[in-house]
Structure 1
């Protein structure tokens, strides 16, 4: 039998992060969407700090800054800086092997945000969400798990819409 995670202040902050992240999808403006996601990642970072999950916390903090930076530049050097920071700050904090998923997934998503677009970018970002939802489920993060599952669902629907639009345009 699987034990349910304990409900505490850290879980409450995770649910606040979930609400912030879920409402980010209401923005049609890409810049506001990214800034809203940055706020979500900062709140989720505090949730992970309270849960003692430092690899996830560092990852969220770096992702927040990366989300902002990717609105300003597509520089390979900036991209490599963020990927290096994920590994340099994350590896020393590893306690469980599954935490590597957050570092690897965030590295893939960073590359995607800086170097791809369209359906390819969405698929790579979805891969990152699968890495994070696995980590969050194993960690017992309710809000983090709900948020990544929401990202997977919304991203899947968006990919289907984009694919259909491409097919209609090529006919």
Structure 2
């Protein structure tokens, strides 16, 4: 790291590419499209985190990518638990810093959201997950991943508001 900003290198470039891909994921109102778009973003970010030697985040992203795809095919509690066990089982042994628990927690919350919730509740849990990830990404110095999670937070908040008002007007 040079000064206050992380050094620009291939890992940061891959993170920025992931940022470009991920910026539209939360715009999908359709849950299936949302999950598939999220999967592509997560695979790219897995590579980014490997390049940054952030293995807890890399495992979290890689497992989350497979989880996002799986959640388009099944809402099985057993499959959900399998992914949560994988996230914790592969992440905990890699911990170097306490803040690295945040991607594990964030990935767990997102797994619960994608397997057991739809619509507004799913988006609210995804918001909690993004908050965990943005703090982790800031602390590890990932420019693209930090920007992505900040965008996820704002776009997801916008989608949450749209879904909320759509529900309110359909009840009226």
Alignment TM class, shorter chain as reference:
over 0.9
Distance 1:159 1:28 in 2: 10
Calculate the aligned-residue CA RMSD, in Å. 1.5
Cα distance change, pair 29–146 in 1 and its aligned pair in 2 (3 A):
same
TM-score by length of 1: 0.94
Distance 2:171 2:29 in 1: 25
1:79 and 2:80 matched: yes
1:36 Cα deviation (Å)? 2.6
Aligned equivalent of 1:7 = 8
1:30 Cα deviation (Å)? 4.4
> Equivalent residue of 1:52, what SS?
coil
Distance 2:134 2:28 in 1: 23
Cα distance change, pair 24–122 in 1 and its aligned pair in 2 (3 A):
closer
> Equivalent residue of 2:18, what SS?
helix
Distance 1:116 1:29 in 2: 13
Distance 2:69 2:55 in 1: 21
Distance 2:61 2:115 in 1: 17
Distance 2:9 2:133 in 1: 21
Aligned equivalent of 1:130 = 131
How do 1:17-166 and structure 2 match up within 5 A?
Answer: 17-25=18-26, 30-166=31-167
* Preserved contact between residue 27 and residue 159 of structure 2 (Cα < 8 Å): no
1:29 Cα deviation (Å)? 5.5
**Structure 2 residues without counterparts, runs of 5 or longer:** none
Distance 2:29 2:126 in 1: 18
